[in-house]
Amino acid sequence: MAEFLTTQGTLDRLENIIKDAKNRLVLISPYLQLPKTLFERLKDADRRNVKITLIYGKDRLKPDERSRLKQLNNLSLYFLTNLHAKCYFNEECMVITSMNMYDVSAKNREMGVLIREKDDNEVFNKAVNEMDSIVHASTKDDLRKSKEDAPHSRNKQMGYCIRCKRPIPYDLDKPHCYECFLEWKAGPYIDYPERYCHICGRREETTKEKPQCRSCYMKSRR
């Protein structure tokens, strides 16, 4: 059964979601400036080899925030310019809230709802599927690149869906269009053979893990 949360309740549950994550942790927050306690919890999760997905939008990350996030080896960072949702979850619990992961948010009047996977499985899974859609619409933010190369300040290079050859933004981590991504996700195994190279569009057997044809792969290594 869903549980209503006040500002402090939201903060407490968010900390517990990070602390109790076993394999997967997803944090969606348009504005991002991690409070010290939450970042320490994230470092603990990273040491446990939890796969962390963090999606932000709106503002460019400050240099000190990018520097802190580089400490997380198991982090996948994404940017979506029209992101407004705030949602945080691990394998068992989810908080949907008005609160950003922003240092000053604790001083605001916020509210949220706690959903447990075992009690509200249908709602929980619908929210997880929406998160997958948000990730697919986002641009991966490589923390190793300079801020001038940040995803919100550059034009997107185009590639091809490796299943249907539809033109899509170039991203080796997301080489399907959204419709084909849903088909792949529902498929029997992750290395399902695909039809096209994500870079040049040439017909050749590829996979989600290896979305380039041999020629494009060799060029990228030069």
The 3-state secondary structure of 158-219 reads EEECCCCCCEEECCCCCCCCHHHHHHHHCCCCCCCCEEECCCCCCEEEECCCCCCCHHHHHH
What is the average pLDDT value for the chain, to the nearest integer? 88
**What percent of the chain shows pLDDT beyond 70?**
93
Residue-wise pLDDT tens digits, 63-91 = 889 999 999 999 999 999 889 999 999 99
Asked if CATH classification 3.30.870.10 holds for the domain at 3-152, the reply, yes or no, is: yes
State yes or no: pLDDT of 148 exceeds 60: no
Report residue 203's pLDDT band, with 50, 70 and 90 as the boundaries. Answer: very high
CA atoms within 13 A on the CB side of 86: 20
Residues of the chain with CATH 3.30.870.10: 3-152
Report residue 156's pLDDT band, with 50, 70 and 90 as the boundaries. Answer: low
**Is this model's pTM higher than 0.85 or not?**
no
Residue-wise pLDDT tens digits, 21-48 = 999 999 999 999 898 999 999 999 999 9
Report yes or no: 162 and 141 within 8 Å, Cβ to Cβ: no
Task: Report the pLDDT value the prediction gives residue 155, as an integer from 0 to 100.
Answer: 47
Task: Report the pLDDT value the prediction gives residue 113, as an integer from 0 to 100.
Answer: 98
State yes or no: pLDDT of 106 exceeds 80: no
Q: How far apart are the first and last CA of the chain?
A: 55
- Can you tell me the distance from the alpha carbon of 8 to that of 157, in angstroms, rounded to the nearest whole number? 43
Task: Report the pLDDT value the prediction gives residue 104, as an integer from 0 to 100.
Answer: 67
Task: Tell me the mean pLDDT in the region 109-119.
Answer: 96
Task: Tell me the mean pLDDT in the region 207-217.
Answer: 90
